[in-house]
Structure 1
């Protein structure tokens, strides 16, 4: 069974898949992977064999193998001669007692390190990290937001004290002090942020700003001289600003703290790979469009020009160009 699981994981890793799904279907299991937002079947097997695969993965992840219906979470670090991948597992049973399992593959922060279309966009973020304040990332699940944040923070970890607060921890980084949200133990984002401030870190990685209290604590930390790297759920750079305002942050606070708003997508390339394209607004430019309300499109002019450049230079195909032109 160990060998069968290793073959599955190695295939998923070679495809740079974000997830592996074990879905019961009649008397069989379908095993799918998600690659760049598209699911593809890589294997079908008997119900018995699929159950054995699931049991092996659950055992490795310290989950209760005998529990088939109730939701469970687990984690496991898979390693071979070439790779070390953090696996986050979630299982649940349907009303018939058939168990399904999802394995999220969290690659090391160096795995996609060079996969950016335009280096100057990374330089913009690196330059912003030299200062204190707020750098906010957005983009759909699997677009590499956490990887980008970790890449930026890792370059500063030798000289700066870095703490991360996530729900759950997505990348293991021994050079950071990593805290994990546990609401049952009254360890919410906002509570952990308050505690973490007593450790006087230079840089905070906050997995996501979800509520008013977390937003306020993050803004206050940025105002008091910390660098905050975080994500906000929004569909574009303009939406990030509006989302923070809806969470009770004022225009003045955002103007004082915001270094960069960065929206990103992982876009398929013609050679079969994928690279990240950013849509960015620097803090000094906020009042030009967003605050004055002069927004004419979902994406900035720079996004459309850079995507067109990728297409004209045959880095991406026409389908990708048309798919991502509005983000």
Structure 2
């Protein structure tokens, strides 16, 4: 009889251990995709480790039980510590916030909540509703908050499902801002799945995924925040709202559109405090000689600076930074943008509105009657805008603008191709700045290694001389990418007499490039290789942005 009782107790104990392990595996399987994205190694590890332990226990008896009782909590703490490094502060487990939440939740279930509140006053314990306060506050365009808790003064009247989805959106924004994301993409996939990706340092990375009703509710919640029509899923929509993160405000531009699997959304995050434009031209990562030349150019009373590069290369930001070098109190500065990305003090900013037939050209004609000293034209898109801007540069104004072109030499031929007269180009344009954004190697984990012979040959180093450069590795500080932050790679073509004379004959791209090199211009690739030698970035990154 005693043997049977012992067998029952042991069987029950085994079942409890197996149930606890399985429950933990199920939790990890649901938690890891939300916090760690595509990293499935943890859930796979726990399943395999549990299966191996039960197999060994069956083979060798209970001698391994003490080892399991140590391994289980160690594995739990290891996973929790790892996931907390990647989770928003509102979803960490090893934190005072989570401990308070668990204490108050347990206290409310056993009826001693008031007693616990006496032990832990509100300023040291949980909020009145026993839920952690969201670190992110979402504000609609009119300034009213969209409350993920479904309450609060001025909050929107939301149903329970949408309110929970707003809370999820707050957590996504918190994680995105923590990872320095500039864009958030909500992309529908096969099987009623919604993939959340963030553009971090210019590269899209998978962050989270949702399925079923949760996916649809998240899209609807963001459309509510952006004042979009939640019932319209077949036509593109645009909207805007703001998020507050620890007192810092970010503007969010939202755009939605239909796809074959559902509705897709793209969210652009913009620092409304203008932090990105602080620091002047010196913060762009140029070498000293180029910086000095560019600072002299932007202080000239008239002329034109064209910044060129592909989409997402930081052209507009560079123009904003250039404006910050000018004394806004003594000069009248006007900008024409589509859309206005950053609000600047003491600068008049106008937005293009195609629906109202307010194009770059029409607004520019109007601006010229407002006695401007400096004009920023967001982009040259057609011959009319280019000609008006260049005429302004010849009549006592300094014009900043951008153009989609690969490099400085291509910019000149691009202007010729759209029909601009050579005499206008050679007289109006002062300089062309081409740029790319490259990721900066994480200072905590970058790895040194000897430069290959081909690289040493490109930078003009003898074959027998060793050069140490760096490559990416990945660590928690950079979220495993090996990079943290971005800097610029630049190419500056100053229009001197030789370049102006060359333009008259409609030169080829190569002819312009050779003349510029003869005058001392360093190409984009050469500027990039200099940053590789300095340990700022990697060869792979320079190849990626200059190919």
Is TM-score (shorter-chain normalized) higher than 0.5? yes
Q: Distance in 2 between matches of 1:259 and 1:224?
A: 14
Tell me, yes or no, if the aligned pair for 1:86 and 1:172 is still in contact at 8 Å: no
Q: Please say if residues 28 and 46 of structure 1, whose CA atoms lie closer than 8 Å, have aligned partners that are also in contact.
A: yes
After TM superposition, list the pairs within 5 Å mapping 1:190-201 onto structure 2. Answer: 190-201=361-372
> Which stretch shifts more, 58-67 or 177-186?
58-67
Give the secondary-structure state (helix, strand or coil) at the position aligned to 2:331.
coil
Verify: 1:302 aligned to 2:471, yes or no: no
Q: Which residue of 2 aligns with 1:239?
A: 410
Q: Alignment RMSD, CA only?
A: 2.4
Equivalent residue for 1:216?
A: 387
**Equivalent residue of 1:305, what SS?**
helix
Larger radius of gyration: 2
8 Å contact kept, 1:238–1:290: no
User: Which of 267, 270, 273 is equivalent to 1:106?
Assistant: 270
Following TM superposition, by how much is the alpha carbon of 1:95 offset from its aligned partner in structure 2, in angstroms?
A: 4.9
Find the residue that maps to 2:269 and give its secondary structure. strand
Counterpart residue number, 2:233: 68
1:22 is aligned to: 186
Identify unmatched segments of 5+ residues in structure 1. Answer: none
Select which of 406, 410, 423 maps to 1:252. 423
Distance 2:235 2:179 in 1: 31
Q: 1:306 to 1:119 in 2, by over 3 A?
A: closer
Cα displacement string for residues 244-295 of structure 1 (whole angstroms, at most 9, x for unaligned residues): 1222222221221212201111101212221011111012266179635424
Distance, in Å, in 2 between the alignment partners of 1:296 and 1:205 is 27
Higher relative contact order (CA 8 A, sep 6+): 1
Q: Decide whether the 8 Å contact of 1:162 with 1:203 is kept in 2.
A: yes
Once the two structures are TM-superposed, the CA of residue 179 in structure 1 deviates from its matched residue by: 1.3
Per mean C-alpha deviation after superposition, the further-off stretch among 150-159 and 128-137 is 150-159
**Among 181, 200, 205, the residue aligned to 1:35:** 200
User: Is the partner of 1:93 in helix, strand or coil?
Assistant: strand
Distance 2:291 2:270 in 1: 21
Question: Structure 2 residue aligned with 1:284, among 491, 496, 499?
Answer: 496
Q: 2:306 aligns with which of 111, 114, 136?
A: 136
Which secondary structure state, in structure 1, belongs to the residue aligned with residue 181 of structure 2? coil
Give the distance between the partners of 1:46 and 1:251, measured in 2 at CA.
58
Indicate the residue corresponding to 1:154 in structure 2: 324
**Secondary structure at the residue paired with 2:313?**
coil
- Give the direction of change, closer, same or farther, for the CA distance of 1:31–1:110 in structure 2 (3 Å limit): same
Q: Which has the higher strand share?
A: 1
Describe the shift of the 1:228–1:246 C-alpha distance in structure 2 as closer, same or farther (beyond 3 A). Answer: same
SS in structure 1 of the partner of residue 276 of structure 2: coil
Instruction: Give 1:217 shift.
Output: 1.0
Aligned to 2:131: none
Deviation readout 1:34-53 (Å, 9 max, x if unpaired) = 23442211000123223332
Cα deviation, residue 112, structure 1: 6.2
1:85 aligns with 2:250: yes
Q: Any conservation in 2 of the 1:143–1:264 contact (CA below 8 Å)? A: yes
Counterpart among 526, 529, 532 of residue 311 in structure 1: 532
Deviations 1:108-142 (A, max 9, x none): 54326555322533443322111111111111222
Q: Distance in 1 between matches of 2:340 and 2:227?
A: 16
CA distance in 1, matches of 2:498, 2:254: 40
Give the structure with the higher percent helix: 2
Alignment length, in residue pairs? 324
**SS at structure 2 position matched to 1:18:** strand
How far, CA to CA, are the matches of 2:358 and 2:546 in structure 1?
Answer: 40
SS at match of 1:221: helix
1:138–1:232 Cα contact (<8 Å) kept: yes
- 2:284 is aligned to 116
2:336 maps to 1:165: yes
Q: What is the CA–CA distance in structure 1 between the aligned matches of 2:353 and 2:330, rounded to whole Å?
A: 29
Using the TM superposition, name which of 316-325 and 130-139 deviates more: 316-325
What SS is found at the alignment partner of 2:227? coil
Give deviations 1:171-228, integer Å, cap 9, x for gaps: 2224322211112211111111111111122111111100111111111111111111
Cα 1:77–1:163, aligned 2, differ >3 Å: closer, same or farther?
farther
Aligned-pair distance for 1:31?
Answer: 0.4
Structure 2: distance between partners of 1:307 and 1:94: 38
Q: CA deviation at 1:103?
A: 0.7
Provide the residue aligned with 1:5 in structure 2.
169
